[in-house]
Structure 1
Amino acid sequence: MLCTAPALAGGWTPTLSSHDYGPRRMVAVDKEDQTLFMLERRSPLHELYRFPCTTGQSEGDKLVEGDLRTPEGVYFVGYRINQDLDWDLYGNLAYSLNYPNPVDRINGKTGGGIWIHGRGKTFVPRDTRGCVALKVPDMRYMSKEISYGMPVVIARDVEWTADPGENEVVADSLASELRDWAKTWQEQSDDFFKHYDPALMTLSEGQDFKGFVDHKRRIFASKAWIQVMVDNIRALPGPDYWVTWFDQYYRTTGMASTTGKRFYWKQDADGRWRIVGREYVPASEDLTDKYLAAKTGEAKAVVEAWRKAWLGMDTEAYGSLYAPQAVQGNRSGATSIVDYKKALWAKTPPVRVGVDHLTVAMHPQGLQVAFDQTFADKAGYSDFGRKTMVLVPDGKSWKIESEQWRRTR
């Protein structure tokens, strides 16, 4: 059963604000004034330029196919329409918008083919079948400024302000929810599913949400570890929802990927924001380098804890850094590794364990750490070599899964 929400009385009239999670640029269409604006958020949100536009022949928010209305909400620029276009109706340039978006589908809205395009014939207000049209020269200029994924806010009347206002609070809350979503996914926890509204997800995606849950649980059961990072988070309010879009880095044994996502959020009866719809899009940035930079700090912390435990002959701390199945040279298993070190420490305590020129790289099982190791003990023995470790994720930390050393002098 569709959640057929009526159009807002009088139409949607947002005030866009300069909150920190706003996009750098966006298009805003004011249907009342028949004007298209390009806005930029750079201390603060301000107008770059404006063009006259023409929208649907019928007033109000689009509800059904053929109602000649232009939809109201937050949409995103798609790809350029690569086909021969009727000059009078479309000029020679057109870009698709993602109507109906997931919330539109929840609300039972139908139709499609909503574009931003040129208009070759005589330009008059409210003259399209639901699209947003510009004069041909304006559309040509616009095509140099817009890009795939740029947000387009369409409303009866649009205003904007330099004040972050309440939108800052909501956007920050949604960013926190999004990071927690990534955290619970990484933990392979059932709390991951609490971020979604099952009934509205079923409506927006046209399939039972239980199938999504079952699929994810099968993945959780099959993966020794999962890591998820989100970055480049942006957020905008819609008529009765918010949209966040972001880049996601996903990693598990033997694979890694960066993708872009859009989440549509609505508040439940208790006031909690829940995901009600999703869209997958190309990422705005490959997050591999950012991921590795973040994990490099974690890997260095593991190596430093390992160095201190060895130098301090701390059996418990030393052993806790190894995975149960760890391999160290010809020794196998954390217990065997610790027993070997205990025997050495009982005979001759170490006086120096040095780590220099440390590098961190990706490894199919996790991370590979390599460094120059300097060792000396109380009896006067010393050596120098290259140590290589493979670290595997273990909850919020890492464990040493393999450790190899090669004397270099």
Structure 2
Amino acid sequence: MTTSASRAFLCLAYVAALIFAPPALAAKQGRERAAAHAPASAEMRRDGDAEARLIEIYRLIGVGDAGKALAQAERLVTDYPQFQLGQLVYGDLLTLRVRPVRMLGDLPDAEPRDAVALDALRLESAMRLKALRERPPAGNVPMQFAKLASSSKHAIAVDASRSRLYLFQNSPSGMTLVADYYISVGKSGIDKSIEGDMRTPLGVYYITGSLDPRTLKAFYGAGALPINYPNPLDTRQGKTGGGIWLHGTPADQFSRPPLATDGCVVVANPDLRRILATVEPRSTPVVIAERLQWVPPQAATAASRAFETTFAAWRTAKTAGDMLGTMAFYAQDFASYGKSLADWSMVVQQDMARNGRRALQTKDLSILHWQSGNTNSMVVTFGEVAEGATTGPVRRQYWLQVQGLWKIIFEGTIG
């Protein structure tokens, strides 16, 4: 290998962008790489394995060890032959043996169609490296997670600006980031508003079920987790469409370009299998944001503190059988499964009659905060148990701040 060729390769855009991983991540990758040098069977392939090995190849290139990088790239594409980005880097390393390499995917005579595919792979590489460089501060959480009930054992947050999904575990000691993965979103980007716009929605959602891969087309890979788009806030804003899932990829495609779906969030199958084995439908929230804002947990909780005062006042009025006071918390354009505010007032009145002014206890309270532009909303899920009872309905409310006051725009029973 000539010195000039080495220099040319070390100036590759994806190497220049690398900037070595923070120590904590580097240590994590080191543990993963210790097992990654052996051939990986389908059963052995762990979530995040292919990306960790790719980043190690980048690191070796960055320190000038192209020979070891080539050996590891060959093992990577042997274990993951459908990993197109890995194949591209492997091809560059082979090319370097006979001529300088000027950019990631240095194919000077590429046809227009191939050039588009190369640009998509370069963008995928850039997004993987961006997420590596821009790690969330240790111990911080997305600001949307104001309060999670113990019944929500996990939570998911998607950052479209980094093409990244973050998986959290929720325990009595707080939320812990346990894994994060590269993802693809809609062909036209984010902020879905109408059916067929090829955009991924932004907002606070819940996983509604888990679809067996045996019942799905091979296109969806290892399975699918539908989310409740459009949620009541989306519907209020006139948004349409549906069928938004978190799903995998076909067997012959390891990952997809950052902007490649019809609106779903897509992850590699090994990563999806980890998620499928971890999260529980109905109790797992999914936040999809253009850019996540990471804050200390106490800051996320503080954002909902003033709201919780209003929520407590609603519960007090309902406990007291104060129909007028209770209904004052509902927006005039309230809607719930086809019921208007007038219809819902009858439902509330029936609840009060059943409770007989027994104190209402709130169990497993979750509060998710969503703010976008002038929209400031809270998604509240809780068990409502009357004093002396052992069980009660699980309710979900959507509150919207209207002229400085919190109003309920939707309320429903989910369990």
Give the TM-score normalised by structure 2.
0.57
Larger Rg over CA atoms: 1
* Partners of 2:210 and 2:145 in 1: CA distance: 30
- 1:220-266 deviation per Cα after TM superposition (whole angstroms, max 9, x unaligned): 467744442112212121132121222221469xx874222221111
Change (3 A) 1:57 1:229: same
Q: What is the match of residue 368 of structure 2?
A: 236
Aligned residue type for 1:230: T
- The two structures, once aligned, show a CA RMSD in angstroms of 2.7
Indicate conservation of the 8 Å contact 1:22/1:234, yes or no: yes
Q: What is the match of residue 132 of structure 1?
A: 265
Higher normalized helix content (fraction of residues): 2
Change (3 A) 1:111 1:78: same
How much does 1:40 deviate?
4.0
Would you say 1:161 and 2:161 are equivalent positions?
no
- 1:357-395 deviation per Cα after TM superposition (whole angstroms, max 9, x unaligned): xxxxxxxxxxxxxxxxxxxxxxxxxxxxxxxxxxxxxxx
* Partners of 2:351 and 2:156 in 1: CA distance: 39
Q: What is the match of residue 275 of structure 1?
A: 408
Other structure's SS at 1:164 match: helix
Would you say 1:21 and 2:147 are equivalent positions?
yes
Counterparts of residues 83-98 of structure 1 (less than 5 Å): 84-87=215-218, 89-98=219-228
- Aligned pair partner of 2:179 in 49, 54, 67: 49
Aligned residue type for 2:177: E
Change (3 A) 1:181 1:140: same
Indicate conservation of the 8 Å contact 1:44/1:162, yes or no: no
Other structure's SS at 1:236 match: strand
Change (3 A) 1:219 1:86: closer
* Partners of 2:325 and 2:195 in 1: CA distance: 39
Aligned residue type for 2:349: R
**Identity percentage of aligned residues:** 26
* Partners of 2:349 and 2:174 in 1: CA distance: 44
* Partners of 1:169 and 1:272 in 2: CA distance: 18
Higher normalized strand content (fraction of residues): 1
Would you say 1:216 and 2:348 are equivalent positions?
yes
Counterparts of residues 9-408 of structure 1 (less than 5 Å): 16-17=142-143, 21-22=147-148, 25-40=154-169, 45-82=175-212, 84-87=215-218, 89-120=219-250, 121-122=252-253, 123-125=255-257, 126-148=259-281, 149-162=283-296, 164-165=298-299, 167-189=300-322, 190-199=324-333, 201-202=334-335, 205-217=337-349, 220=352, 224-239=356-371, 240=375, 241-250=377-386, 257-269=391-403, 271-282=404-415
Change (3 A) 1:224 1:110: same
How much does 1:51 deviate?
1.0
* Partners of 1:244 and 1:191 in 2: CA distance: 20
Change (3 A) 1:19 1:159: closer
- 1:19-57 deviation per Cα after TM superposition (whole angstroms, max 9, x unaligned): 772466321111122111113466665522111111111
> Which segment is superposed worse, 46-55 or 67-76?
46-55
Q: Which has the bigger relative contact order, CA under 8 A and spacing at least 6?
A: 2
The unaligned stretches of length 5 or more in structure 1 are 1-14, 283-409
* Partners of 2:192 and 2:146 in 1: CA distance: 30
Indicate conservation of the 8 Å contact 2:232/2:398, yes or no: yes
- 1:153-182 deviation per Cα after TM superposition (whole angstroms, max 9, x unaligned): 1011123122533x4333122333223222
How much does 1:67 deviate?
0.8
* Partners of 1:162 and 1:180 in 2: CA distance: 28
Other structure's SS at 2:186 match: coil
| Count of aligned pairs | 262
* Partners of 1:54 and 1:136 in 2: CA distance: 13
- 1:311-362 deviation per Cα after TM superposition (whole angstroms, max 9, x unaligned): xxxxxxxxxxxxxxxxxxxxxxxxxxxxxxxxxxxxxxxxxxxxxxxxxxxx
- 1:56-75 deviation per Cα after TM superposition (whole angstroms, max 9, x unaligned): 11113000111111100010
> Which segment is superposed worse, 238-247 or 129-138?
238-247
Q: What is the match of residue 83 of structure 2?
A: none
* Partners of 1:106 and 1:220 in 2: CA distance: 27
* Partners of 2:145 and 2:327 in 1: CA distance: 28
Indicate conservation of the 8 Å contact 2:166/2:177, yes or no: yes
Give the TM-score normalised by structure 1.
0.58
Q: What is the match of residue 398 of structure 1?
A: none
How much does 1:96 deviate?
1.1
Change (3 A) 1:36 1:244: same
- 1:126-175 deviation per Cα after TM superposition (whole angstroms, max 9, x unaligned): 2211111111111111112111221111011123122533x433312233
Indicate conservation of the 8 Å contact 2:145/2:368, yes or no: no
Other structure's SS at 1:79 match: coil
Indicate conservation of the 8 Å contact 1:18/1:162, yes or no: no
Indicate conservation of the 8 Å contact 1:102/1:278, yes or no: no
* Partners of 1:135 and 1:57 in 2: CA distance: 17
